[in-house]
Chains A and B, each alone.
Chain A
Amino acid sequence: MNSWLTSHVRALTQALARMRGQPLATALSIAVIAVAILLPLALYVVFANVTNAATRLNPDPSVNVYLALSANDTEAKDVEKRLRGLENSATVRFIPRESALAEMKRITNLADLLAGIDGNPLPHAFAIKPKSNDAAMLERMRLEIGGTPKVETVTMDFEWAKKLARFVDFAQRIVILFGLVLSAAVVFVIGNTIRLQMLTQKEEIIVARLIGATRRFVRRPFLYFGALQGASAGLIAVLSLTGLTVWVGGEVNALAASYGADFALQAPSAIQSIWIIVAGGLLGWAGAYISVSMYWRQIESGK
């Protein structure tokens, strides 16, 4: 156990010494890896925030039912009775066409235009709060309402949110794809750095093997080197992203407020940050492992 620990501490010390020995090359390599980690991470943060905002924008969806212009008050009462009898109706609010017109005049600047129109162009309408937001139940409800006499149009005001959610799902897949491609790039960058390290230490590897080093012993410092580079890049990516979020966040909040939305750009949490750093380290480890395995034969053929 002591010997095992000693060899790991020694491998870690060697890896740190190698990084210190080539500060510029190490810094450049870490910067490239940090950018590769930062890009999908930034996209993820944007889409995570959009998803969060979309969820909060429409917390209480409703189904809107518009009657035909020809529908009179009695027919509207019949429709209301039928709507209240629906299995999925929680509340039904009647919006008379006169109230709708008055409301429209109040909240828009179209009062003069509307005054010039003969009669009321707006129909009687109902706003229904469903008991359940289950997609199948809502679709059944829409069909049932649509088949009611004098009902002209049925809209669900959260349909756009569903479309947005679908877009966000699609975007998340793009982020995952982007993340996978750039993860592979991280593995390649670290793999190439390790390959160059191995070539410069070819003699030491050969001699160590001749006097009793196992492959594991030779491989270990390279694995630590890769992991340290990956983790350092992960840390830089997290710090950069947090900085960007703070920098852009103020503008985004002001923009959201101008549209009446309560929206704040969220930086990665402490737990997420730790995961990013660990993931960077694991990618570095993997890149180093692949590289050492690939170039092993090439190095050993020199014995």
Chain B
Amino acid sequence: MIVFSSTTKRYTNGFEALKSVSLTIEKGEMVAVTGHSGAGKSTLLKLAAGIELANAGKVLVNNQNLSQLKEAGLAVLRRNLGLVFQDHKLLFERNVFANVALPLEIAGFTRTETGKRVRAALDKVGLLNREKANPIALSGGEQQRLCIARAIVNRPSILIADEPTGNLDQTYAATIIDLFKSFNQVGVTVLLSTHDAAGLARLQCRRIEIDHGTLVE
């Protein structure tokens, strides 16, 4: 469960990205956050992932107040989240397999268990035959699926995805949307941001709109 309680986020340059936002996302729910560019969608997701911390109010993830967690506590929390970034954040010095293996290395999994889990995740996103490829050789859609494989390899209870269908054509976007739906169907809580109308229609989930840092009901 993710809870935003009168949450405000102000950046160091004075820009207030979120203004006293209150929102609850139940366990196993799928929520799409929409809004124009700069509305505060990414900030909301970063707060949920503990990448940014609120200036006022609270953000609770699985009943943990993120503002009260220390560095190590936040790191442990992030290991239990699946994060899909808008710019993928893939490592081009590592091949596909090693990119997906990174969260498991961090969590201290053995080589054997890592191998099993990485292949299972790559299979899920349809990239099992590309495990030795360099991410730079993948198409935009494949790179996005690789990023999703890295997010799910730890079998997280919450998936947070920032514009996962951004810059993808309709066919690729539909595949990605279907992937998120399949994760949600097995009980994973999904919080994603998008401004893709077709994707939203395909998702068929609760929709939240943000405008200038405030929720529009």
Chain B residues in 8 Å Cβ range of A95: none
Chain B residues in 8 Å Cβ range of A201: 93
Q: How far is the CA of A63 from the CA of B51 in the complex (A)?
A: 81
Q: How far is the CA of A280 from the CA of B131 in the complex (A)?
A: 40
Known A3-B108, A6-B108, A217-B106; contact A211-B83, beta-carbon cutoff 8 A: yes
Chain B residues in 8 Å Cβ range of A258: none
Known A2-B110, A208-B102; contact A213-B89, beta-carbon cutoff 8 A: no
Determine if B124 is an interface residue (Cβ-Cβ < 8 Å).
Answer: no
Chain A residues in 8 Å Cβ range of B103: 211-212
Q: B52: nearest residue on chain A (CB-CB)?
A: A303
Main secondary structure of the interface of A (DSSP, over half): helix
Which of these, A7, A10, A206, A213, contacts B75 with CB under 8 Å? A213
Q: How far is the CA of A210 from the CA of B85 in the complex (A)?
A: 10
| Category for how many chain B residues contact A | 20 to 34
Chain B residues in 8 Å Cβ range of A208: 102, 106
In the bound complex, do residue B108 and residue A211 qualify as a contact, i.e. CB atoms below 8 Å apart? no
Min CB–CB distance B194 → chain A (angstroms): 20
In the bound complex, do residue A212 and residue B108 qualify as a contact, i.e. CB atoms below 8 Å apart? no
Known A204-B91, A204-B93, A207-B91; contact A213-B106, beta-carbon cutoff 8 A: yes
- A1-36 toward B: CB 8 Å interface, digit per residue (1/0)? 011101100100000000000000000000000000
Determine if B145 is an interface residue (Cβ-Cβ < 8 Å).
Answer: no
- B145-172 toward A: CB 8 Å interface, digit per residue (1/0)? 0000010000000000000000000000
In the bound complex, do residue A210 and residue B89 qualify as a contact, i.e. CB atoms below 8 Å apart? yes
B contact residues vs A (CB 8 Å cutoff): 49, 51, 71-72, 75-81, 83, 85, 89, 91, 93-94, 102-103, 105-110, 150
Q: List the 7 shortest-distance A-B pairs measured between CB atoms, nearest first.
A: A3-B108, A212-B79, A212-B78, A214-B75, A213-B106, A7-B108, A207-B89
A to B CB contacts below 8 Å, 5 in the list: A4-B108, A207-B91, A210-B83, A211-B150, A215-B71
